[in-house]
Structure 1
Amino acid sequence: MTQPVFPPLFEGLALEGPADPFEKACSHAIRGCDAGLVVHNVGANSLNAAIVFAPDVPLRDAVMMLPLCAVGFQNALGALAPPEVAVHLDWHGGLRINGAVCGSLRIAAQTADPEAEPDWIVVGLTLPLWPQSDDPGTTPDETTLYAEGCADVNAVDLLESWVKHTLVGINTWTDEGAGNLHRDWRGLAYGIGEDITRNGITGTFLGIDERFGMLLREAETTHLIPLTEVLEG
């Protein structure tokens, strides 16, 4: 398989078999690898990858790498897929293609303290390419990339594009702040205005605050659920 080519300052590390890029990236980050490591595992049925970051801001702001990478994925797929393919983003990192769940993003950090500056952050991508079952009707709310009219999208090209578009998002965030990220994410957000349950609270998803915290309206009370709540330990 052709190895992906990444922008300068990014370095690829290919895995094979069942190896999990997210776990491997976290392991390398703990040992002190440089930011920009892209661990990837492109298989016949799935694309899995993870990027190591070192944002020089407190965790409460650095956690915005999750929606930033999500918008980067939408931009990447939008550049390669047919124009009728719709991508939407769940607040917690879920990806939806044409309305159905199709993979997700996840995030981990060196610290859980919102006020501390993390030594590293890892954002991982899991994207199913082909159904694992011969009967996809058993999971009607889930789909795969190639089942949604994207059979001509090469997984390696998509991985390269995700990293490139994420880099563009990082540069914009660094130079101009989070305003563009907020605008872009809101235009792709799934479920705003609908009733959902999060952290044991059921209410109407009103939107997000300036740090992408979820605003959840329950009766007469609006709860704020920080985005740091989705960090994996």
Structure 2
Amino acid sequence: MTGSEHATHGGTYGTALVLPPLFTGVAAAGPGAVFAQACALAGPETAGTLVHADDGRDLAFAVVLVPAEPLRTARRAFLVCMGALADAIGSLAPPEKAIRFGWPDVVRFNGAILGGGRLAWPRDCAEDAVPDWLVFGATLIVSKRHAGDPGLTPDSTSIEEEGFPVEDRGSFMKCSAQFLMRAFAIWGEDGFPPLADAYLSRLSGDAAPCAITETGDCITGARTLLLRPALEAVAWCDPETGSPRL
């Protein structure tokens, strides 16, 4: 599998999107179609397929993963991918502004919602069976001009508002893929704990998190935050638009 582009419709990047080896790019019709398209393509033979789109309002990508462990523990890949996403954002973001997570899937930048991540798996897969695939997807807000005065949506922000370089957002897709490769290499070589620590270091909330369990749940001391039902809720996403809530 090579870093190539299988389609040219959808978001434009000035030049063809170039991805690292092991990834294959597929352009979608729009950000709202990215996740569903990746799930439709998902399977052992399509590992590394990265579906993407950018319509000037949102930027979205979704990547097909093939786990080697039972579903109940394989969902931890979501937390690994969120850490990689934050690293990619941080590598391109203006300095000295914090990137934080709202459990488990909200991405906050400079205190406001910038977007979020999500995970899909085969619905007929038993918890103790190895799934044929997982799909990790992420959506970030590029611009809120369509929403009117920013004062009307103070809980969210955008790449444009925060001063990210916006001329070549294709570089963000490439950067995200590179950090995903790095994160999964760490998981393979050093195990999950360092990646869990990296995720926890960005997690915000009332109670200080102290551990991630083998099933990806978060222990805060006062209570345990369950991963699976939180992933099924996708609280950051507006179901009518497929975009982050403003």
Q: Please classify the TM superposition score into its range, dividing by the shorter chain length.
A: 0.7 to 0.9
In the other structure, the counterpart of 2:42 is 29
Equivalent residues in 2 for 1:97-176, closer than 5 Å = 97-111=109-123, 113-131=126-144, 132-152=146-166, 154-176=168-190
Q: Distance in 2 between matches of 1:216 and 1:103?
A: 24
> Conserved in 2, the CA contact under 8 Å of 1:20 and 1:48?
no
The equivalent position to 1:178 in structure 2, one of 186, 192, 196, is 192
Higher strand share: 1
Secondary structure of the 1:3 match is: coil
> Conserved in 2, the CA contact under 8 Å of 1:25 and 1:50?
yes
- Greater CA drift, 96-105 or 151-160: 151-160
Letter of the structure 2 residue corresponding to residue 178 of structure 1: F
- Greater CA drift, 77-86 or 169-178: 77-86
Q: Distance in 1 between matches of 2:84 and 2:110?
A: 17
Q: Displacement of 1:206 after TM fit?
A: 4.0
Letter of the structure 2 residue corresponding to residue 77 of structure 1: I
In the other structure, the counterpart of 1:210 is 213
Letter of the structure 1 residue corresponding to residue 134 of structure 2: I
> Conserved in 1, the CA contact under 8 Å of 2:121 and 2:135?
yes
- Greater CA drift, 95-104 or 151-160: 151-160
Secondary structure of the 2:62 match is: strand
Q: Distance in 2 between matches of 1:52 and 1:58?
A: 16
Q: Where in structure 1 are there 5+ consecutive unaligned residues?
A: 195-203
Letter of the structure 1 residue corresponding to residue 28 of structure 2: L
Q: Displacement of 1:162 after TM fit?
A: 0.7
> Conserved in 1, the CA contact under 8 Å of 2:203 and 2:209?
no
> Conserved in 2, the CA contact under 8 Å of 1:54 and 1:120?
yes
Q: State the TM-score, normalized to the length of structure 2.
A: 0.80
> Conserved in 2, the CA contact under 8 Å of 1:81 and 1:153?
no
Q: Where in structure 2 are there 5+ consecutive unaligned residues?
A: 1-12, 234-246
Q: Displacement of 1:66 after TM fit?
A: 1.3
Count of aligned pairs between the two proteins: 217
The CA RMSD measured in Å over matched residues stands at 2.1
> Conserved in 1, the CA contact under 8 Å of 2:30 and 2:54?
no
In the other structure, the counterpart of 1:11 is 24
- Greater CA drift, 35-44 or 107-116: 107-116
In the other structure, the counterpart of 1:198 is none
Residues 62-117 of structure 1, C-alpha deviations (whole Å, 9 max, x = no match): 11121111111111122122212321112221100001111100111014533221
Identical-pair percentage? 31
